[in-house]
């Protein structure tokens, strides 16, 4: 695979650590296309890195860049027990030479969650589990203080890596897709479906695509609570992102309104809550498997379910895209190397 060809010079001159991301292909999903009588294309961000793909590594290139620019050798981040963001931070943090601490809140302990925890431990991440999300901010503050007393100066990465630094990774991804459309390596589609969790993926992609004049509808399938993932939060993120880009390079276009206009939030797949399986998600999982695509309960099954629900009626005979944000890297060698799970962690994995 080729190294990113589409890297905008302005982005590379922002603080940035090269984590070896490759340009991800856009491929047709033949079985889903036949079922829906609509061409379904997939942006394969599961392949961003052979170490661990998915959406998080793109954000981490910029977050680690900023951490390094500030002289930090330690990072603290947060997430739910089985957080993909925490796992990516653990793996790539180790690769980039950071000590990684993660404060984790509760999540239904599925097998996927358990495997992610094992990989965090195999990557030497220090896990600090709290019994409720309400305890996460004070736990981060306490940990920050504790590490400072030890002479470290930790850099704090927010949930999902979604701030105006992390989301730069998805601006770059938007530019990458725009370049693929331009070269004919991907088709123009009416809509692009992706999960909406903490918002950095959607906000960044919307800004990157809008900057290249692409007006496809970005359907942000909400998988977290509306208090976290909503239009206001996306607006704040898009505004701060464009402002950061324009401060860095005044030629970056003011695409705030266009980017926001292109985003539609779809809340129909949320179901009973974050991380809880839905029937539509189960159906999407089975259908995706026939095209060799593995999705998981919390994010990607629900995003794909949103596409399945709408595509046949809205886009019959047209083209739509699903942006796949879950890693497909094989984690079994890491899982095999994982140390014994400490009792303090195991009790959260046993809880049902
Ligand atoms: C596989 C996967 N897809 C999508 C998302 C959502 O991305 P964001 O938090 O940027 O909205 C996440 C977030 O953890 C994720 O793990």
CB of residue 256 inside a 6 A radius of ligand 1:
no
Write out the chain's pLDDT in tens, 352 residues: 333 434 566 787 899 999 999 999 999 999 999 999 999 999 999 999 999 999 999 999 999 999 999 999 999 999 999 999 999 999 999 999 999 999 999 988 888 899 999 999 999 999 999 999 999 999 999 999 999 999 999 999 999 999 999 999 999 999 999 999 999 999 999 999 999 999 999 999 999 999 999 999 999 999 999 999 999 999 999 999 999 999 999 889 999 999 999 999 999 999 999 989 999 999 999 999 999 999 999 999 999 999 999 998 899 889 999 999 999 999 999 999 999 999 988 988 886 5
List the residue whose alpha carbon is closest to atom 6 of ligand 1. 197
CB of residue 54 inside a 6 A radius of ligand 1: yes
pLDDT for position 2 = 38
Q: Is 206 helix (H, G, I), strand (E, B) or coil?
A: helix
Q: How far is CA 140 from CA 57, 78, 79, in A?
A: 22, 8, 11
Closest ligand 1 atom, residue 197 Cα: 11
Q: What is the pLDDT of residue 20?
A: 93
Amino acid 65: pLDDT:
97
Task: List, edge to edge, every strand of the sheet that includes 74-80.
Answer: 126-129, 99-105, 74-80, 155-157
Q: Please give the span between the terminal C-alpha atoms of the chain, in angstroms, as a whole number.
A: 42
Residue 8 pLDDT:
60
* Ligand 1 atom at minimal distance to the Cα of residue 196: 11
Alpha carbon distance 338, 218 (integer Å)? 38
User: What pLDDT is recorded for position 9?
Assistant: 65
Predicted pLDDT at 348: 87
Rounded to the nearest angstrom, the distance between the alpha carbon of 152 and the centre of ligand 1 is 29
For residue 160, give the ligand 1 atom closest to its CA: 9
Distance 34 CA to ligand 1 centre (A): 28
Assess whether the C-beta atom of 38 lies below 6 angstroms from ligand 1: no
> Is residue 306 within 8 Å of residue 196, measured between CB atoms?
no
Q: Using a 6 Å cutoff on CB, does residue 101 contact ligand 1? A: no
Q: What is the pLDDT of residue 352?
A: 58
Atom of ligand 1 nearest to the CA of 170: 10
264, 265, 268, 270: CA torsion to nearest 10: 150
Please, are residues 307 and 219 in contact by the beta-carbon 8 Å criterion? yes
- CA–centroid distance, 35 to ligand 1, in Å, is 26
Concatenated DSSP letters for 162-186?
-STTTTHHHHHHHHHHHHHHHHTSS
pTM for the model: 0.95
Ligand 1, atom 3, lies closest to the CA of: 325
Residue 196 Cα to ligand 1 midpoint, Å, equals 7
C-alpha 84 to ligand 1 mean position (Å): 7
Report d(CA 46, CA 346) in Å as an integer: 28
CATH 3.30.360.10 for the 56-161+334-350 domain, yes or no:
no
Q: How far away, in angstroms, is 240 Cα from ligand 1 center?
A: 20
- Domain limits, CATH 3.40.50.1100, in the chain: 9-54+163-324, 56-161+334-350
Q: Which CATH number fits domain 9-54+163-324: 3.40.640.10, 3.40.50.1100, 3.30.390.30, 3.40.50.720?
A: 3.40.50.1100
Strands 26-28, 263-266: pairing is unpaired
């Amino acid at each position: 695979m080729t190294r990113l060809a589409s890297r905008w010079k302005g982005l590379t001159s922002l603080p940035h650590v090269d984590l070896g991301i490759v340009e991800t292909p856009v491929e047709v999903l033949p079985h889903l296309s036949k079922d829906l009588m609509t061409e379904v294309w997939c942006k394969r961000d599961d392949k961003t890195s052979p170490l661990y793909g998915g959406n998080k590594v793109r954000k981490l290139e910029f977050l680690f860049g900023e951490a390094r620019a500030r002289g930090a050798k330690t990072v603290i981040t947060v997430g739910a027990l089985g957080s993909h963001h925490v796992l990516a931070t653990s793996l790539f943090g180790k690769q980039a030479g950071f000590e990684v601490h993660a404060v984790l809140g509760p999540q239904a302990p599925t097998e996927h969650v358990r495997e992610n925890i094992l990989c965090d431990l195999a990557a030497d991440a220090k896990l600090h589990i709290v019994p409720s999300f309400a305890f996460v901010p004070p736990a981060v503050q306490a940990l920050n203080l504790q590490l400072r007393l030890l002479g470290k100066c930790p850099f704090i990465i927010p949930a999902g890596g979604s701030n105006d630094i992390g989301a730069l990774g998805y601006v770059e991804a938007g530019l990458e897709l725009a370049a693929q459309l331009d070269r004919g390596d991907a088709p123009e589609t009416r809509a692009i479906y992706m999960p909406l969790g903490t918002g950095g993926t959607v906000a960044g992609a919307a800004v990157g695509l809008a900057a290249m004049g692409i007006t496809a509808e970005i359907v942000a399938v909400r998988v977290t609570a509306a208090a976290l993932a909503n239009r206001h939060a996306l607006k704040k993120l898009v505004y701060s992102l464009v402002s950061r880009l324009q401060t860095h390079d005044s030629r970056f276009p003011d695409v705030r309104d266009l980017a926001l206009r292109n985003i539609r939030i779809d809340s129909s797949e949320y179901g009973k809550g974050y991380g809880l399986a839905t029937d539509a998600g189960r159906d999407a999982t089975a259908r995706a498997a026939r095209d060799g695509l593995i999705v998981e309960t919390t994010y990607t099954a629900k995003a794909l379910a949103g596409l399945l629900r709408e595509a046949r009626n809205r886009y019959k005979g047209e083209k739509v895209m699903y942006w796949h944000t879950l890693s497909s890297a094989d984690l079994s060698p890491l899982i095999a190397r994982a140390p014994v799970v400490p009792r303090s962690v195991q009790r959260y994995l046993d809880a049902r």
